[in-house]
Structure 1
Amino acid sequence: MEVISNSPTETEQLGADLAAQLSPGDIIAFTGDLGAGKTAFTRGLARGLGVQERVTSPTFTIVNEYEGGRLPLFHFDMYRLGSSDELFDIGWEDYLARGGVCAVEWSEIIDDALEGHVIRVDIRRGADDNQRLITITGGPDA
């Protein structure tokens, strides 16, 4: 599925719409440039799952956990990891076993470790500053 988003609000809504279709163990694997809208999409996922907490980028913590929604949301930022080997050092398998949704920014760094139901979300800049070209593959409608 390819979508054009014309604002961060539209990008968040797309995430909220996808969240309604997610199941325990789903992995959302994001790719896209810095500032493309991966965290905005994740804010929408959180809202769609019923998470009430403020969603922020986990750049310096590697993972932020959000509970209290229909499913737990584990928001990863792999930008600072060198390889998928480091992923297992932070407990990746434990997060997968907890029955939540893993939203993974910079997923290309750990692509060889992604297994199971992986939904790929690529976000690219469009014609103007707010426009984004969003491609979703591997989802429920794929």
Structure 2
Amino acid sequence: MEITFSLDEINNVAELIVAAKPNKVILFNGEMGAGKTTFIKQLCKTLGVTEATSSPTFSLVNEYQTTNNQIVYHFDFYRLKKETEALDMGVDDYLYSGNWCFIEWAENIASLIPEAHSTISIEVLADGKRLLKLN
């Protein structure tokens, strides 16, 4: 699936992604500033998270609960130096929990990613719109 959108259309795009029924472990690729965290925040809202969401850059993971009691984990592995740091925090327990896992900078834990995952790539286009690809 490929979608070109402007930021004011982000809600509709998040709804399309959820309706596409991706794997619950989703890797987010894109350059710094492409809008990965912004899109994850909207996905959380679409899934029913009502609390404020933020990037877990320093904590590595944030946990949210939806209105229908689903759990959403948001990871940011940008600052990770070694995969063992992720193992030390129990990343396997999160990734194989059956809950939503949204992962930024997954390349820093490449060998730990479950085989059953989806990938969302976000690219900023010259006109400021975003190109989102779901695989």
Give the TM-score range, shorter chain.
Answer: 0.7 to 0.9
Q: What secondary structure sits across from 2:78 in the alignment?
A: coil
Q: What secondary structure sits across from 2:114 in the alignment?
A: coil
- Per-residue deviation, 1:32: 0.6
Distance 1:16 1:111 in 2: 28
Question: Aligned pairs, how many?
Answer: 134
State the match for 2:134 in structure 1.
136
With normalisation by structure 1, the TM-score equals 0.83
Q: Which runs of 5+ in 1 are unaligned?
A: 138-142
**What do you get for the CA RMSD once the two structures are aligned?**
1.9
Q: Percent identity?
A: 37
Distance 1:134 1:57 in 2: 20
State the match for 2:116 in structure 1.
117
- Contact kept, 8 Å, 1:16 with 1:46, in 2: the verdict is no
State the match for 1:33 in structure 2.
31
Matched, 1:14 2:13: yes
With normalisation by structure 2, the TM-score equals 0.87
- Per-residue deviation, 1:10: 2.3
Q: Choose 42-51 or 11-20, whichever is displaced more.
A: 11-20
Distance 1:42 1:120 in 2: 13
Q: Which runs of 5+ in 2 are unaligned?
A: none
- Per-residue deviation, 1:39: 1.0
